[in-house]
Amino acid sequence: MKKIISYNVNGIRAAIRKGFVDWLRDEKPDIIQLQEVKAFQEQVDVHEIEELGYTIYWFAAEKRGYSGVATFTKEKPVSVQYGIGNDFFDAEGRFLRLDFEDFTVINSYFPSGTTGTIRQEKKEEYLDIVADYCSELQKTKTNILLSGDFNICHTEKDIHHPERHKGVSGFLPHERVWIDSFLSQGFVDSFRQFHTEDDAYSWWSYRAGSRKKNLGWRIDYHMVSSALSHYMHDAYILPQVVHSDHCPVVVELEG
């Protein structure tokens, strides 16, 4: 059984100060994909993480303290790709791909559009690039796992009080349609394969006690290719883990 976690840590150094490494030691994922590490690897003491048996792959943003993704894996990949091949988004450290013998994992931090029109346009550009990339990848790879913070709630079950969020970035109709389209491309939302009706979230605002009231959004996903989905054993969310305003999301694969 392979346990794979995706987790927007909203700053790896802050998460470590809050007990991230101890939690990782107890949770024992085979692969953990982090978003918003907000640091260069040399700024982080990764010795304890490496002692747990992980090899570390890190793709930081050029801007200090911003964005960035990292993947820790106990099984070494056969190849690694840093970036999606777009200069703008690669400078923001948003995409990291690891190929293993029997499957491919992608770690991606999708842009947020909440800061205004320009960033929303960049977000939508990135959505198109990812969809095209995965479509091309499917021509040569069948077992694909795309994990990360998508910054989109797919359905009304994925956001608290959906009626209050009409017209809000992250719940815009065309963003939700993009997920529909991506799924129709040959992927499944792993969590919804096991929890069809749950109102479950992976991010909560720091404002107004949102997490305690469970006023959240489900914006973190493991999207599993149709071929790989046959090996899914379980998928779930860990809302009790509190190193970040996000929480980890998990998929377990047989084999």
Q: How far apart are CA 209 and CA 247, in angstroms?
A: 16
Tell me the chain's radius of gyration from C-alpha atoms. Answer: 17
* DSSP structural state of residue 86: -
Strand 104-109 and strand 216-217: the pairing is: unpaired
Question: In b/e form, how buried is each residue of 78-100, taking b as 16+ CB within 10 angstroms?
Answer: eeebebbeeeebbebbbbbbbbb
Contact between 143 and 227 under an 8 Å Cβ cutoff? The reply is: yes
Q: How far apart are CA 8 and CA 247, in angstroms?
A: 7
H or E stretch including 67? none
Query: Considering 26, 132, 149, 158, which one is annotated as catalytic?
Result: 149
**Residue 199 falls in the annotated catalytic set:** no
Sign for the pseudo-dihedral over CA of 224, 227, 228, 229: positive
- Which residues are identified as catalytic? 149
